[in-house]
Amino acid sequence: MELTLLGTGAGRPSKLRNVTSMALRLPTPSSSVWLFDAGEGTQHKLLDTPIKLNRIDRIFITHLHGDHVFGLPGLLSTRAYDGGVDPVTIYGPPGLQKMVDTLFELSGSHIAYDIHYVETVEGILFDDGQFRVEAAALEHRVPCFGYRVVEHDRPGRLDVGKLQDAQVPAGPLYGRLKAGNDIELPDGRKVCAKDVMGPSIRGRIVTILGDTKPCEGAVKLAHDADLLVHEATFGAGLEEKAEAYGHSTTLQAAEIAKQAGAHKLVMTHFSSRYELADANRLADEARTIFPATDAASDGDVFAIPCRS
């Protein structure tokens, strides 16, 4: 499970940073890719990664500002040429479907696969048994949401030593125990799954926020997150400017991570006033409050390991 930052700039693309987009690669058995935001040039940035458009089956849009959504129509159109024939589900604020459908209609574009739109609302958006996705409203200049991806806990490993001691023959019975089912052996003895399984493997949590001022919705979504992606458009000392434009500073992002008890903070959405060489300074500002902080650059990949 890993997150690739495709664009880490704010407002407009630059030679150093593209506008916002990121891709979350899920573990087996799904091995799907979920895209979060799709600023202009997102499909070009994907060409620099191993990620294939046909692996993207869910797209989550935080809000309708152009630096987060103008790359979506082109990406959807190209997806069909990249072997994308399976349906894709797109989550986003009101007006997203109208925007995309209007552009396709006026340009005469034909999409040869099904696109399902789901209007984002606060609460649980879906739960497929492996992952649950929750949304909450943030505070920006237009309706904006953040997303919390929660992996369900998984059964622990079978203790082969205990199985051998109990003289459980290898084969289908192992599979039934792994699935959490108790079994009965030919001699009448019963073996309970809980007695031969290790501790459950705790699911991971990834929180991806759209543009926002510090707010309760951000803290709620980021609670206990293994990885929190938070915008940091401005550096420390520019809190008034951040407030005026509905954004956050490095220190404010760090405060949210600290309040939420997150485990790692990745800052993104940096103003074009900052050079790549400023990244270390911006990260150091946040680390005075939340030490486990990185300032992301385009192309950075962050692994989300399982919790022990």
211 is in an annotated binding site: yes
The model's pTM: 0.90
How far apart are alpha carbons 78 and 189 in whole angstroms?
A: 59
> Confidence band (pLDDT; 50, 70, 90) for 188?
confident
| Local structure of residue 167 (DSSP, 8 states) | T
> For residue 11, which of 301, 253, 246, 300 has the smallest C-alpha distance?
246
Asked whether residue 185 carries a pLDDT value surpassing 80, the answer given is yes
Query: How does pLDDT run across 9-53, given as a tens digit for each residue?
Result: 999 999 899 999 999 999 988 889 999 999 999 999 999 999 999
Instruction: Please give the pLDDT value at position 308.
Output: 66
> Does the annotation list 140 as a binding residue?
yes
- Domain 2-154+204-303 classification at class level: alpha beta
Q: Is residue 68 annotated as involved in ligand binding?
A: yes
Q: What is the pLDDT of residues 49-74, one digit of tens each?
A: 999 999 999 999 999 999 999 999 99
Distance CA 49, CA 27 (A): 17
Does the annotation list 63 as a binding residue? yes
CA-to-CA distance for 31 and 1, rounded, in angstroms? 9
Q: Where in the chain is CATH 3.60.15.10?
A: 2-154+204-303
**67 annotated binding-site participant:** yes
Q: What is the mean pLDDT of residues 193-215?
A: 91
Helices 250-260 and 279-287, packing angle to 10 deg = 40
67 is catalytic: yes
Catalytic residue among 48, 57, 67, 224: 67
